[in-house]
Amino acid sequence: EDKVVQSPLSLVVHEGDTVTLNCSYEVTNFRSLLWYKQEKKAPTFLFMLTSSGIEKKSGRLSSILDKKELFSILNITATQTGDSAIYLCAVEETSGSRLTFGEGTQLTVNP
Amino acid sequence: GAVVSQHPSWVICKSGTSVKIECRSLDFQATTMFWYRQFPKQSLMLMATSNEGSKATYEQGVEKDKFLINHASLTLSTLTVTSAHPEDSSFYICSAVNSGGNYEQYFGPGTRLTVT
């Protein structure tokens, strides 16, 4: 059975801190790993990773995938209160685009 | 960019009634759509894969007679919660795969269902 595990499950930091969120997976037919940010509504897309070792970056957020060790990390530097959200990691299978989600990391950034 | 809508955005219904939720891809075709359910403080759980023109594929433990899925066109899938009970109260989210383009998956804004 496909499995995606995120850690930590929750994290409380102060504005300006840097955080690293982890995602490990076991999937039979891996196609890609995706990171989403969820606030009050549906998830919003952050990154899609398909190749090992290539960092994807968007502003203060960056992510990298290690297909040998089967994990990914999401880094957020200089955190702001607006970064407070649940961060979801999902793995996509090659057949049919089916996504398996991890439990998510609840990030709280205090002023 | 690709947009997926859901209707209604929230609904309250009485126990025993049925509720239909629509998921539309507004500017792309989607032969495949997915339906997820999310309970408070939990992650998204895939309920079923909706395939245009054929029967939906349900995940283990999801009752196909209770959660009816119809994907009659390339831009619309519907989820009907039949004989709803309070334990069906949840956040239902759909996603659509852009089959006419990049095969990326786009999420709808979700539907909050409360069964009283």
Whole-number pLDDT of residue A17: 97
CB contact under 8 A, B108 and A42: yes
| CA A80/CA A15 separation, integer angstroms | 5
Whole-number pLDDT of residue B54: 86
Q: Which chain B residues contact residue A100 at CB under 8 A?
A: 46
CB contact under 8 A, B34 and A102: no
CA distance A78 to chain B (A): 26
Go through chain B and tell me how many residues it has.
116
CA distance A104 to chain B (A): 6
pLDDT in tens, B78-106: 999 999 999 999 999 999 988 777 778 88
Q: Which amino acid is at B99?
A: S
Count of A–B CB contacts within 8 Å? 44
In the numeric block, the tokens 């009283």 are attached to B116
CB contact under 8 A, A42 and B93: yes
**Is the Cα dihedral A45, A51, A57, A62 positive or negative?**
positive
Whole-number pLDDT of residue A48: 92
pLDDT in tens, A48-71: 999 999 999 999 999 999 999 999
pLDDT in tens, B26-49: 999 998 999 999 998 888 999 999
Task: Annotate B65-97 with three-state secondary structure.
Answer: CCEEEEEEECCEEEEEECCCCHHHCEEEEEEEE
